[in-house]
Amino acid sequence: MLSKLQYISQGNTVQEQLLNIQHALDQGCDWIQMRFKNGTFEETFALAESVKKICHQYDANFIVNDNVSLAKIIDAEGVHLGLNDMPISKAREILGTDKIIGGTANTLEEVISQTKNGCDYIGLGPLRFTNTKANLSRIIGMEGYQTIMKELRTYNTSIPIYAIGGINLNDIEMLLATGIYGVASSSLITQSSIEDELIIQLNEKLYGTVII
């Protein structure tokens, strides 16, 4: 069963990435997507090896953004692929059926096609503007989620859909009411302090109970 909360890492250097990932794990995140866009091959590889080690110390799942060969080499739990990344069917051939493959969507049609391509979950976004990602797709907004998720009910699919893009704590109830399964978040978690008990609060809302 996939967790309902995924942390997407940020940081311009290996050191920043590691600090942010450690911070998310210390707060209780149990699913990390390593998203490191501007490192060299050596830096990205070294980061991935370190992240895999710490994730396993915390019993957390670790997936890699974009890079299927890196996920394969370091035996990560999976990969997240956007519409301009390697096709999901090809990634599935490389990684096999045991690995998690996430796919991005921005419209109902993309949710359907990505699902048919064989991904395990969908990141559907953005909810609203965010500085975390350049070249954002069209903003979906809460009403857009309501429409897409309502139309999705007419298709026979139970694929978990994660809302992404500028997610705040106060969005969770309304997102869940649309039929969303979980959320993927970067800056909210990166910028929170331990005292905020943010992950506890997010999990309380996502699971309807306290996760320890």
Ligand X SMILES: Cc1ncc(COP(=O)(O)OP(=O)(O)O)c(N)n1
Specify binding-site residues for Mg(2+): 66, 85
178: Cα separation from own chain's centroid: 18
CA separation for the pair 109, 98 (Å, rounded): 26
Stretch that binds ligand 3NM, among 66-74, 90-98, 183-191, 198-206 (CB under 6 A): 183-191
- Does 123 participate in binding ligand X (rule CB under 6 A)? yes
From the list ligand X, Mg ion, ligand 3NM, none, partner contacted by residue 162 (C-beta under 5 to 8 A by kind):
ligand X
Nearer to Mg ion, 85 or 196 (CB): 85
Number of residues that bind ligand 3NM (CB under 6 A): 18
Stretch that binds ligand X, among 9-17, 52-60, 79-87, 192-200 (CB under 6 A): 79-87
- Does 184 participate in binding ligand X (rule CB under 6 A)? yes
Spell out, one character per residue from 140 to 169, where the chain touches ligand X: x when CB under 6 A holds, - when not.
----------------------x-x-----
Minimum distance of ligand 3NM from residue 128's CB (angstroms): 8
- Region 107-146 residues binding ligand 3NM, contact defined as CB under 6 A: 123, 125-126, 130, 132-133, 136-137
Residues found near ligand X in the complex (CB under 6 A): 6, 8, 33, 35, 65-66, 80, 82, 85, 102, 104, 123, 125, 133, 162, 164, 184
